[in-house]
C-alpha cells in the first residue's frame, strides 16, 4: 500500500470522528432552561425530546421553529406536570452511536498491529534488495538527460578535440569508417596534470556523442565484499551492450588499474579481480563492438601494462598545461558573463600566468571577482586581477604579521639580493615584482615570470641556483651573519643541482649518465632490487659535483652582489619605503648604482 493511501485513511477516520463536533448540523435556536420553562408556561411548545446521554432537550414550537437547551438528567416532577398541563408531547430517547465511531476503537489496534508487521516486512525486503543489488553498476546514464557541455565550451586543445571527435564520429557514423576498414580505438586514456580539463572533455563527449553515455568513477567499483567490483564491471558493460553503441567513461581509473602484484603484501585481491574483469570486458574472448571506454588519470605511470596495451587503451591523449593562446581562450570563456572593466587586458594576463591549468585560471577569474566585490566596485578591473594573481601564486597576504625593524631590514636585503641577481643574470627569467609584505609562509617574495619554453639549458639552471643564493649571500655581505630565512632557497637549489648531476647529465665529471631516484614499492618494483643503482664511489662523485655546483654559484652570487652593492642598497631602501616594487624600478636602481644612464632592461618588463 502506498504511503498516500495510508494517510488518506487516517484523514477519513479523523473527519468521521472529529467532524461532527467541529461542524454541528443542527439549526435549532439555543435557549436557556429558564426560557424553555417560560415557553412551556406560555403554551408555545408543541413537542419535546430529551436525550438521556447528553441531557440535551430539543423541541418544536407551535409556530414551526425548533429550539434546543440543556437540562438535568431527568426532569423534575414539577416540570413534568407543567408539560402535561400545557399539552406538550415529550419523550425520553437514547441515541445510538455512529457506526464508524463505534467501529474505529475496535479496528484501531488491528490496524496498528498490521501496520507494524507490514513495516517490518518492507524493511526486510529493502535490506534483501540492497544485498541483491550490491553487484550492480553505479554508473550514471546520460542517454536521456545529456549534459549541456559541448566541445565549444572547451577552450583551446585543438589536437585533443580532434582525436576525441574521431571516436564520436565513429559512433555516430560507423559505416563511414568501416568502408575503408578502419577500426575505432576501443579505449582512450586522457592523461594530464590535475585541473587541465580531462573530466570536462568527457562531459563534452556526453553532450556531443548522441549515443549512450555511462559515467562512473574508479572508486565506485570498490566495496568491502570480495567480488563486488568485478560484478559491477560486468553489469556496466551489459548496460552498455543493451544500448547498442555507447561510451563508458571511468574517471580516476588509477584507483582500480594499478599494477597487479604491487606492494609488500602482494597486492589487493579485490582491486586485482576488478582489474582482471575490466581487462576481459575490454578485450577478452568475447569481443565487444560499438563500446568505447574513456578513462582519465594523472598517474599513468602506476597503471598495469596489460591495461595500456593496444586493443584495450589503444590511444593515450595527453592533456597538458595550456599554452599562452589556450590560456587566453580559457580566460575569455570564464570571463564571459562577468562585468569586466575597460582596463582589463586578458592577453597580458594570459602571458603572466605560465604553468596555470584551466582550473587555476577559473579560480583566478573568480578571485578577481571577489576582490572587486570586496572593493565595492561594480566591475572587475585590472587591479583585481593583479591582486587575485598575487593571492593564487604567492599566497594570501598576512596583514596580522608585523616584523620588527631588524627583521624588516634583513628581509629587504634578502629579497633585494634575489631581485638584483634576477636583473643582472643573462639567462634568468624576467623579474616581475618584489615585496617584503608577508605572503603565505614567506616573509617576502621575489616573483619572476618564466618564459614559455619546453627545454632548459645548463646555463639557465645555473642562473636559477645563483639567483636562489642571492638572499643568503646578500645577508652575508651586508650583515656578516646568516639566519634561517634561506631554508627554502637552499632546498630549491640543492634539488636542481642534484637533478643536473643525476638525471640531466650536466656534470662533466659524472658524464652522460642518468641515475633515477629510488622506485616506490607500491609501483610494483621489488623491495630487494629497488635500491641504489650505482656504487659508493659514484655516490661520492655525485655528492662532490652537487656540492661544487652549489659553492660555485654561491661565489658567483657574492661576486655579482659585491659589484652591484650600491644597487642592492638602493633596492633594499626602496623596499623599506614602498614595500612592493616592480622589475622596471629594480632595473633602474641597479643601473643607477653603477652610474649608468637609466633605461628599462628588456629582462625586466613591467606587466
Kindly list the catalytic residues: 415
Report which DSSP code applies to 607.
Answer: -
Give the cell for residue 452. Answer: 614559455
Cell output for 236: 556496466
Query: 599 Cβ partners below 8 Å, 6+ apart?
Result: 587, 588, 591
> Sign (positive/negative) of CA torsion 351, 357, 362, 367?
negative
Beta-carbon contacts of 39 under 8 Å, excluding residues fewer than 6 positions away, are 31, 45, 61, 67
Are 94 and 66 a contacting pair, CB within 8 Å?
no
Dihedral Cα 153, 155, 161, 165, nearest 10 deg:
20
CB 447 within 8 A of CB 462: no
Q: Tabulate helix, strand, coil % of the chain (nearest 5).
A: 50, 10, 35
Backbone φ and ψ for 435, nearest 5 degrees, come out as -145, 150
Burial of 378 by CB count in 10 Å (0-12 exposed, 13-18 middle, 19+ buried)? exposed
Backbone angles phi, psi at 453, to 5 degrees: -150, 160
What CA–CA distance (Å, rounded) separates 419 from 557? 12
CB 242 within 8 A of CB 288: no
Which of 155, 164, 168, 167 lies closest to 318 in space, CA to CA?
Answer: 164
SS3 track for 419-476? HHHHHHCCCCCCEEEEECCCECCECCEEEECCCCCCCCCHHHHHHHHHHHHHHHHHHH
| CA angle at 212 for the pair 131 and 146, rounded to the nearest 5° | 100
Alpha-carbon distance of 366 to 317, in angstroms, equals 29
Compute CA 246 distance to the chain's CA centroid, rounded to the nearest angstrom.
27
User: Which residue carries 616592480 as its cell?
Assistant: 582
Look at residues 154, 197, 162 and name the one whose alpha carbon lies nearest to residue 319: 197
**8 Å CB contact between 294 and 212:** no
Amino acid at each position: 500500500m502506498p504511503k498516500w493511501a495510508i494517510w488518506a485513511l487516517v484523514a477519513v477516520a479523523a473527519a468521521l470522528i472529529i467532524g461532527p463536533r467541529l461542524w454541528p448540523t443542527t439549526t435549532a435556536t439555543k435557549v436557556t432552561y429558564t426560557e424553555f420553562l417560560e415557553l412551556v408556561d406560555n403554551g408555545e411548545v408543541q413537542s419535546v425530546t430529551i436525550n438521556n446521554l447528553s441531557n440535551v432537550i430539543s423541541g418544536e414550537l407551535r409556530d414551526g421553529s425548533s429550539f434546543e437547551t440543556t437540562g438535568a438528567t431527568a426532569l423534575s416532577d414539577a416540570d413534568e406536570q407543567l408539560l402535561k398541563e400545557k399539552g406538550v408531547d415529550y419523550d425520553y430517547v437514547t441515541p445510538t452511536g455512529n457506526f464508524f465511531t463505534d467501529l474505529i476503537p475496535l479496528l484501531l489496534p488491528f490496524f496498528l498491529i498490521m501496520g507494524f508487521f507490514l513495516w517490518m516486512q518492507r524493511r526486510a525486503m529493502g535490506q534483501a534488495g540492497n544485498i541483491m543489488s550490491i553487484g550492480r553498476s553505479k554508473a550514471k546514464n546520460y542517454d536521456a538527460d545529456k549534459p549541456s557541455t559541448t566541445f565549444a565550451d572547451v577552450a583551446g586543445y585543438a589536437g585533443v578535440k580532434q582525436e576525441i571527435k574521431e571516436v564520436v564520429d565513429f559512433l555516430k557514423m560507423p559505416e563511414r569508417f568501416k568502408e575503408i576498414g578502419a577500426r575505432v580505438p576501443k579505449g582512450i586514456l586522457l592523461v594530464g596534470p590535475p585541473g587541465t580539463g580531462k573530466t570536462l572533455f568527457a562531459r563534452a563527449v556526453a553532450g556531443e556523442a548522441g549515443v549512450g553515455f555511462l559515467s562512473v568513477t574508479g572508486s565506485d567499483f570498490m566495496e568491502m565484499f570480495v567480488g563486488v567490483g568485478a560484478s559491477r564491471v560486468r553489469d556496466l558493460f551489459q548496460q552498455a551492450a543493451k544500448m547498442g553503441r555507447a561510451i563508458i567513461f571511468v574517471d580516476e581509473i588509477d584507483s582500480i588499474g594499478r599494477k597487479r602484484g604491487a606492494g609488500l603484501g602482494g597486492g589487493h585481491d579485490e582491486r586485482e579481480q576488478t582489474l582482471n574483469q575490466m581487462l576481459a570486458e575490454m578485450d577478452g574472448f568475447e569481443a565487444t563492438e560499438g563500446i568505447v571506454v574513456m578513462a582519465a588519470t594523472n598517474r599513468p605511470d602506476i597503471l598495469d601494462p596489460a591495461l595500456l596495451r593496444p586493443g584495450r587503451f589503444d590511444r593515450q591523449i595527453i592533456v597538458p598545461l595550456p599554452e599562452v593562446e589556450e590560456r587566453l581562450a580559457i580566460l575569455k570563456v570564464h570571463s564571459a558573463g562577468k562585468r569586466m572593466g575597460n582596463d582589463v587586458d586578458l592577453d597580458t594576463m594570459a602571458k603572466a600566468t605560465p604553468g596555470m591549468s584551466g582550473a587555476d585560471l577559473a579560480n583566478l577569474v573568480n578571485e578577481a571577482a571577489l576582490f572587486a566585490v570586496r572593493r565595492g566596485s561594480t566591475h572587475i578591473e585590472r587591479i583585481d586581477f593583479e591582486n587575485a594573481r598575487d593571492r593564487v601564486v604567492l599566497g594570501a597576504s598576512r596583514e596580522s604579521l608585523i616584523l620588527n625593524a631588524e627583521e624588516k631590514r634583513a628581509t629587504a636585503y634578502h629579497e633585494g639580493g634575489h631581485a638584483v641577481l634576477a636583473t643582472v643574470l643573462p639567462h634568468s627569467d624576467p623579474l616581475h615584482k618584489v615585496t617584503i609584505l608577508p605572503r603565505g609562509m614567506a616573509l617576502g617574495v621575489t616573483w619572476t615570470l618564466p618564459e614559455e619554453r619546453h627545454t632548459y639549458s645548463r646555463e639557465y639552471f645555473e642562473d636559477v641556483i645563483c639567483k636562489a643564493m642571492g638572499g643568503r649571500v646578500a645577508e652575508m655581505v651586508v650583515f656578516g651573519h646568516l639566519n634561517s630565512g634561506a631554508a627554502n632557497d637552499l632546498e630549491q637549489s640543492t634539488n636542481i643541482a642534484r637533478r643536473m648531476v643525476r638525471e640531466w647529465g650536466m656534470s662533466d665529471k659524472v658524464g652522460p649518465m642518468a641515475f633515477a631516484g629510488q622506485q616506490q614499492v607500491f609501483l610494483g618494483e621489488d623491495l630487494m632490487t629497488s635500491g641504489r643503482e650505482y656504487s659508493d664511489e659514484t655516490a661520492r662523485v655525485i655528492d662532490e659535483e652537487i656540492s661544487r655546483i652549489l659553492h660555485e654559484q654561491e661565489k658567483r652570487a657574492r661576486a655579482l652582489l659585491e659589484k652591484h652593492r650600491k644597487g642592492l642598497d638602493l633596492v633594499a631602501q626602496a623596499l623599506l619605503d614602498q614595500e612592493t616594487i616592480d622589475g622596471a624600478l629594480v632595473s633602474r636602481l641597479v643601473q643607477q648604482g653603477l652610474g649608468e644612464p637609466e633605461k628599462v632592461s628588456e629582462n625586466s618588463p613591467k606587466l
